[in-house]
Structures are given as C-alpha cells and as structure tokens.
Structure 1
Amino acid sequence: MSQLELTLLAIDALHAQDPTLRDGQPAELLYAQRMTRWLKRLAPQGSAELQIAVRSQHLCRWSIPRSTYPMGRTGYLQWRTELAKLHADKALAVMAAQGFDEAAQQRTARIIRKQGIKRDAEVQLLEDCACLVFIEHDFLSFSARHEEAKLIAIVQKTWGKMSERAQQQALQLDLPPEALALVAKALA
C-alpha cells in the first residue's frame, strides 16, 4: 500500500470511532467518504495533501461538541476555529506517523483550515466538496429545523463560497422539489 493509502486508512480508523451513527455507520466516516467522492468527481488527480485534507475535514469532530460554546454567531465561529485546528492537528499526526515531510503536513493544514479560500485552488476544492455534500445530503434535514428566511440566507451564503464549477454541479443534483424551490428562491 502507498503512503497515501495508509494515511487515508488511519484517518478512517479515527472516523470510525465517532459514536454517532448515520445510515448505520459512524457519521464522520460517512461524511469523509462523501467528501472524497465529490473530490474524485471534481479533481480526480488531486494532490495527496488535498486528498488527506478533504478526508480530514471533520476528523474527530465529535470530540468538541457545539454545546461547549455559546449559542449565536460568535460562539459558532469560535467552535469552528477550534474544530479546524483539531482536524489539522489530528491529520498532521497521522501524516507524520506515515512519514510525510513537514512541507506536506503544513500544506495539508492550510487546506484544512481553509487558508486562502478563493485564492488557492485546492482550498477552494475542499470548500466546494463541503458545500456539495451539504446540499446533496444534509440540506433537506437541515431545512426541516429552520425557517425559510434563514434557509434562503444559508443557501445564498453557501452559494457564495462555491466556485462556479461547483455551483453548476449543485444545479444538476437530483434534489426533492421542496429543496429545489428553496434554492430557486435563494438564487432569485
């Protein structure tokens, strides 16, 4: 097995520890697999650093519950900052154990932390994958918990984070009519 394959297996072993199940498997393992599927569609020849970053997007996320931070935007942003640090630290530990050099580790950390989004093609690809996974798999259940005005704002914000290519991919998704109606309202 290659260094990259061994690294991805070790990351998946960490994901498999997620106590939350979704569709019968650890939730973050399922999320990582979905992220990787989108990356393979958008950039099948992505660098090892990008592949590791995409697979590590939510690495050990369950260990820092959202409830440990204040409600509201400030608390949410603090939580997301701590999560990005956690995801990067965990991924880099796995990379180091598999013999990746410091430059590869730091590049992966920058991608995971989304440093240079809209300026760095690999960071943008990670964001595109995350947005597409959200729209394809989580948007409908998310919409059941929130008012339409908030959902429209979220779609607009998500859309603004995506590259034009990812936006086109999102428009081709086979979404239920109620989700399509919300997307249409958000983009009008």
Structure 2
Amino acid sequence: MPMPFQKASEWIDAENAQDPNIEIEQNIEYPKELLYSNRMYERLMQFEPNASEEVQIASKAQHICRWKVARETYPMDRIGYLKWRENLKKFHAKTTATILEKAGYTDEFIARVSFLIEKKSLKKDAETQLLEDVICLVFLEYYLEAFVQKHDEEKLKNIIKKTWDKMSDKGHQEALKINYSEDNLHLIKASLGL
C-alpha cells in the first residue's frame, strides 16, 4: 500500500474514532462512524477489488465526522433534510481534503476524491456509481433492519425502491446475495415486484 494511503487511512480512522455515538457489532462497541467506514471499505474491496485509490479513500471517508453536523440543526421537513444532506457532502469532502493535503496527495487527486464524496455525475461517472452501489449495499446489509423497526411498510417499500433505483445492475445482483432475514427478503421482493 502506498505511504500516503496508509497515512490518510489512519487519519480518517482517527477522526471517525472520535464519534461519541456507539454501535455494537458482535458484542464489541465501536464508534458509529468508524464502524461504518470499515464496513464501506470492506464492502468496496469485496465488490470491486481493483477500485482506484480515490474510490478507496472516498469509501472510507463517506461519513467522516458526520456527528458534527446534526440533523436537528436544520428544519425537520423534507427541504431541511435535503439541505442537511447537501451540506453534509460538502463537509465530508472538505474534511477529507484537509487530511489528503496533509498526507501529500496532489490537488488533482484531492479534487477527484471530493467529486466522488459529493456523489457528482451519478449514473454517468463509473466511479461515482461504484461508490453509490457500495453505499446502498452497506445500507441493505447493515442498516435496513433499523429502518424496519422505525417505519411502516409503505414507507419501507419506498425507501427500498429508491435505494434500488440508485444502483447499477451489478449492484442489484450483489444486493440479492446478501443474507437477509426472511421478513426483510420478503419486503425487498415485494418492494421491487420480484
């Protein structure tokens, strides 16, 4: 692994390790965004082992320091939600750019990682699409269950359909290999009319 990558990875992990929110995985407590970052990177390397260094870093930094931009600081409606999401992307990209600069990456490399984190040209840019596929796969594998507990069936079907629409055909094939609970598999198939 090239030296700047090693440094950047460690620094991204160090930032995410400061998350005060805790998630438990196999009886071990993790800072929430550190666990998310690890899941993103692992899933990327399974799904596309030859992913570029830019995508690898973007996968690790997708939610970097997310807890610092609280949802509650925006109006609790659809417009507020979309504004929060938009500002989060810029915040993640800027936070990552600072780390990459310190690690010695070129301006061109940093601009590309920012482009990916901000999910620009989805469906047109192959690497943005790859990152989106990984985001959706990680959501379906690790975070769908929490949504199932919180929302009614119609809302869940809508969330699954929107997630599916963002993915590529390759992403769809991979999503159907995930080991879901019987109820969640039924819900996914019902949402997609499979």
- TM-score class normalised by the smaller sequence: over 0.9
Between the aligned partners of 1:183 and 1:105, the Cα distance in structure 2 is 37
Identity %: 41
Partner of 1:164: 169
Q: How large is the Cα RMSD of the aligned pairs?
A: 0.8
Partner of 1:37: 42
Counterparts of 1:85-96 in structure 2 under 5 Å?
Answer: 85-96=90-101
Partner of 1:99: 104
TM-score normalized with structure 1 length: 0.98
* Structure 1 residue 57 corresponds to structure 2 residue 57: no
TM-score normalized with structure 2 length: 0.95
Q: 1:187 aligns with which of 153, 176, 192?
A: 192
Partner of 2:143: 138
Partner of 1:7: 8
* Structure 1 residue 114 corresponds to structure 2 residue 114: no
Structure 1, unaligned runs of 5 or more:
none
Between the aligned partners of 1:48 and 1:90, the Cα distance in structure 2 is 17
Structure 1 stretches of 4+ moved >3 Å = none
Between the aligned partners of 1:117 and 1:182, the Cα distance in structure 2 is 26
Q: Deviations over 1:46-99 (max 9, x none)?
A: 111111111110001000111111122211110001100110001000000011
Partner of 2:20: 19
- SS of the residue aligned with 2:150? coil
Aligned length: 188
Q: 1:28 aligns with which of 17, 33, 51?
A: 33
Between the aligned partners of 2:84 and 2:30, the Cα distance in structure 1 is 25
Cα distance, 1:125 vs structure 2:
1.0
Cα distance, 1:112 vs structure 2:
0.2
Between the aligned partners of 1:166 and 1:37, the Cα distance in structure 2 is 15
Between the aligned partners of 1:6 and 1:26, the Cα distance in structure 2 is 20
Cα distance, 1:40 vs structure 2:
0.2
Deviates more, 1:109-118 or 1:39-48: 39-48
